[in-house]
Amino acid sequence: MCGIIGILGKSPVAASIVDGLKRLEYRGYDSAGVATLEPTGLARRRAVGKLKNLDALLQLSPLGGHAGIGHTRWATHGKPSEANAHPHAAGPVAVVHNGIIENFRDLRAELSAEGINFEGETDTELVAHLVNREIRGGAEPIAAVEATLKRLEGAFALAFLFEGRNDLMIGARRGSPLAVGYGDGEMYLGSDAMALAPFTNRIAYLDEGDWVVLNRAGATVRDEAGKIVKRQVQTSLASATMVEKGSYRHFMAKEIHEQPDVLSHALSRYLDMAQGTVRLPDALPWDFADVSRVTLTACGTGYIAALVARYWFETYARLPVDIDIASEFRYREAPLDPKSIALVVSQSGETADTLAALRYCQANGVRVGSVVNVSTSTIARESDIAFPMVAGPEIGVASTKAFTCSLAVLACLAIAAGRKRGVLSADEERRLVGELMRVPRLVAEALNTEPKIERIAKVLTKASDVLYLGRGTNYAIALEGALKLKEISYIHAEGYAAGELKHGPIALIDETMPVVVVAPKDRWFEKTVSNMQEVQARGGRIILLTDADGAAHAGESEAVLVMPTADPIAAPFVHAIPVQLLSYHAAVMMGTDVDQPRNLAKSVTVE
């Protein structure tokens, strides 16, 4: 995740841009840079490392322009270097970017074939060249950006400046956040309201697919189709609180919608997207080639993420897996092989049972890796190695973005294990990495189904019991859906392996109990459709979460939610979205305290 700032000012802007970037350093700090419009034209200052290095460079070589864009980087494509630092430029165009351009290889090849030479290895640089190519073809900057946006695939936020156009700045948002700030004769762009707090508290958040043309008098927002739209200007409290809800009613809603952005960040930390490989920290305390089995243990949503990972370690790494909830594992006295490893998953890094399970493993000579969101937590500090989820602060008690970011880390670990154990080919690794790179965009597309999900959530609020069914990794998503619903709406819900239906739960089926079935068209689909028919034959009411192909083959259901089609490794991320949103909207309708549900705590530090 990177940070973006843009300012159309009434005085020199470089120092203000750096001030804004400092509030975005939590998003990444491999390198940073500023571009401004000077009397002599477009000028850039870029520095590797933390912002203080850029600050020092600007002291030595100041910029005086009154229009500028700035960026603090978390490397996705290409190592941290000055050549890869943003802003990137081509001809009169300067651009900064946050997110992932998925089709960058094809676009880069297209431009190279036209003789374009690239300064660095980033996907961002090609965006500058694409816009410049349109301008060289006679297009005005606005039309050039509009045409370029149509060529890009992925989840990203962008900000542009143009030499010779001192009162023009353009921004675009697709999957990664971008806010417009309204000043007094000045206008701003920023990755979030916090970054703009030093300049203004009048903020408008761009919606998915929006792009915005700014001058010092104001902003014109257009949707993806190019139609002019209105985005509400509101007063942000960002200056008062470092983490705020922004335009969302609850932290949980904000965190659900942050997932495309934070997943881009998490994936870019563990993937070398240019090479199409997993890139783990060098100093692993084990060699996967020598690991005999993996113990996975956690609590709640962390345990469910581990359940998904079990399928991945078995499928992609052919590693035997033992998995258990930590409160059981810690007392099982399980015999452990010192050649095995353990992975614990914990958003807070302070869950007592998970910490106890970690200590049990270490006491038995087993090395422990932790997938954690709080890198200063006890679990992070006591594990042999911590793998940060980098999901950003998660305030809502119901875990959402930490769940999907845990999946991102665990998927990368399973792929790396498969490569090291010689059971996963380099081609298959590249294919899987390509599928993971699509996850932020697919999640953004899944979020677009929210209006329909909200309507369907009403059905759940009329029930006293809800059953969630799935097979394979969809079984884990069924468990997560049931956990989310019960913990924030207080409606009883159970997640079950669809294949277990006939071994008891089918006795529950009647017209009063909605059955949510997680079933994209995958290798478990046909069997799950049979289970759906067993439910319907007994008057049960099915709410089906599937994809286009599944919807065409599943027969009648009371409601069908069609999610984007995804590769099996991406499907758990995509189908986590509808179960999160179903629970959120049901809870809102039930009038419960969504962010702080009764009886719960964000971190269970006692057993």
Binding site for ligand AGP (CB under 6 A): 299-302, 346-348, 351, 354, 397-399, 487, 603-604
- The dihedral through the CA atoms of 500, 480, 513, 536 has a sign that is negative
If DSSP codes are grouped into helix, strand and coil, which group holds residue 342? strand
Cβ proximity of 163 and 92 under 8 Å = yes
Active site residue 52: no
CB of 381 to ligand AGP, least distance (A): 15
Cα separation, 318 vs 295, in Å, equals 14
CB of 599 to ligand AGP, least distance (A): 11
Residue number, 336 or 594, with CB nearest to ligand AGP:
594
Residue number, 356 or 508, with CB nearest to ligand AGP:
356
Nearest to 566 by CA among 551, 550, 547, 552: 547
Residue number, 244 or 487, with CB nearest to ligand AGP:
487
Kind and range of the H or E run holding 44? strand 41-48
Residue number, 16 or 346, with CB nearest to ligand AGP:
346
CB of 389 to ligand AGP, least distance (A): 9
Residue number, 134 or 595, with CB nearest to ligand AGP:
595
Residue number, 101 or 586, with CB nearest to ligand AGP:
586
Which one from 2, 299, 405, 412 is the annotated catalytic residue?
2
Cβ proximity of 344 and 354 under 8 Å = yes
Cα separation, 248 vs 253, in Å, equals 6
If DSSP codes are grouped into helix, strand and coil, which group holds residue 421? coil
**Nearest residue to ligand AGP, by Cβ distance, number only:** 300
Cα separation, 518 vs 510, in Å, equals 19
Nearest to 350 by CA among 607, 596, 595: 607
| SS3 assignment for 207-271 | CCCCEEEEECCEEEEECCCCCEECCCCEECCCCCCCCCCCCCCCHHHHHHHCHHHHHHHHHHHHE
CB of 346 to ligand AGP, least distance (A): 3
Q: What are the residues whose beta carbons fall under 8 Å from the beta carbon of 537, sequence distance 6 or more?
A: none
Residue corresponding to tokens 């909207």: 585
Cα separation, 225 vs 244, in Å, equals 30
CB of 460 to ligand AGP, least distance (A): 17
Residue number, 317 or 371, with CB nearest to ligand AGP:
371
Structure tokens at 416: 């790396």
Nearest to 481 by CA among 522, 511, 508, 518: 518
CB of 315 to ligand AGP, least distance (A): 24
CB of 227 to ligand AGP, least distance (A): 38
Cβ proximity of 211 and 149 under 8 Å = yes
- The dihedral through the CA atoms of 89, 92, 98, 101 has a sign that is negative
Cα separation, 486 vs 509, in Å, equals 19
Residue number, 72 or 347, with CB nearest to ligand AGP:
347
Which one from 52, 79, 452, 602 is the annotated catalytic residue?
602
Residue number, 259 or 348, with CB nearest to ligand AGP:
348
Cβ proximity of 383 and 370 under 8 Å = yes
Cα separation, 273 vs 436, in Å, equals 10
Alpha-carbon dihedral angle through residues 310, 311, 317, 322, given to the nearest 10 degrees: 30
Structure tokens at 36: 């401004």
End-to-end CA gap in the chain: 35
Active site residue 2: yes
DSSP state of 192: S
Residue number, 45 or 330, with CB nearest to ligand AGP:
330
CB of 406 to ligand AGP, least distance (A): 8
Omega before 87 within 30 of 0, i.e. cis? yes
Active site residue ranges = 2, 602
